[in-house]
Structure 1
Amino acid sequence: MAITKETQNSATRQIDAPAKEIFDILSNPQRHNETDDSGMVVSTDHGERIKAVGDTFTMNMTKEDGDYQTNNEVFAFQEDRVIGWKNTENTTADVKVGAKWLYELEPIDADNTTVKLTYQRDELEENLLGMTEKFDDDFLAKSLDKLAEAVSGS
């Protein structure tokens, strides 16, 4: 199946933690490497705790052909419920990106939360679509597994 701008991938899982604890990790760019199963997210270069739509942060990244940095802007924010950011630019290569990561948290009870992670391509440039094939449902499920590990402290 060809990847298009309309192609979305997602995964959902229950995490045995309150939504507030999960959101605490997601809203802190300095902890994003703990939720990345790909090994691409290295560290935060610039960015404070996310508090609102429009907040920005810069991440140090790596892939097989070298290190790079990305600028990111928050496009969705509802305390302890929804958080999403768009990778606006690979600043090292001076390439506009547009990939979006959206987390939706739904408390089940005081100690358990359903988390849905969606990867959206609707703002990606056509020439970048092929590079996003690896961000499929399985990849996102593994990211949610890493998030569960991070929140449990294991």
Structure 2
Amino acid sequence: MSDDTRISVSRTIDAPAAAIFEVLTLPANHVRLDGSGFVRSAVGTDRISGTGDVFTMNMEGDHMGGEYQTDNHVTGYEKDKLLAWQTAPAGTQPPGWEWVWELTPQGPDQTEVSQTYDWSRVTDKELLSQNLFPLVSRDQLEDTLAKVAELVA
């Protein structure tokens, strides 16, 4: 699915949902999964354990003038089924874009994994005027799913 404010990609991965969820909930894994090339490392190694958690990532990209950090505020968490977070420059409140992972078992050893990049809640006119969205492409999201499949294989 794709429209003017979100991109969604899906892939069936040969692994149980629990194994994929374990990979996704450890921020230290995200550098290995990132298809955009922006993620450099996690700050701390705590596993995401529920809605309200915040995890920080070291990032790099021309859109932010080089190196920067993000705080990722967990907005959705259902063990082995759903993980979602809103991203913000470190020390600020999220301006409205969200990453959503949905896991749907397709049997004991296969899972349909969907990732959605959604910026429909961004209302800051100055931010929107910079034409940053989408910052991550459909191809980069599909690359992320391929990396998830490789990591859990």
Is the TM value for this pair above 0.5?
A: yes
Identity of aligned pairs, percent? 37
- Equivalents in 2 of 1:137, 1:10: separation in Å? 8
User: Structure 1 segments of 4 or more deviating over 3 A?
Assistant: 94-97, 126-129
- Equivalents in 2 of 1:74, 1:95: separation in Å? 12
Give, in angstroms, the shift of residue 35 of structure 1: 1.2
Partner of 1:67: 67
My pick for the range that moved more, 10-19 or 41-50, is: 41-50
Give, in angstroms, the shift of residue 91 of structure 1: 2.6
Partner of 2:140: 139
- Equivalents in 1 of 2:76, 2:38: separation in Å? 23
Alignment counterpart, residue 28 of structure 1, candidates 26, 29, 32: 26
Per-residue CA shift, 1:112-145, capped at 9, x if unaligned? 1000101111232343342122423322211111
Is 2:139 the counterpart of 1:150?
no
Distance 1:112-1:134 versus aligned 2 partners, 3 A rule: same
My pick for the range that moved more, 59-68 or 134-143, is: 134-143
Alignment counterpart, residue 110 of structure 1, candidates 108, 111, 119: 108
Mind listing any 5+ residue stretches in structure 1 that lack a counterpart? Answer: none
Q: How many residues align?
A: 146
Distance 1:126-1:144 versus aligned 2 partners, 3 A rule: farther
For the aligned residue pairs, the C-alpha RMSD in angstroms reads 2.0
Output the TM-score relative to the length of structure 2. Answer: 0.86
Alignment counterpart, residue 49 of structure 2, candidates 43, 48, 51: 51
Instruction: Give the number of the structure whose residues are more often strand, by fraction.
Output: 1
Give, in angstroms, the shift of residue 44 of structure 1: 0.7
8 Å Cα contact 1:85/1:102 also seen in 2: yes
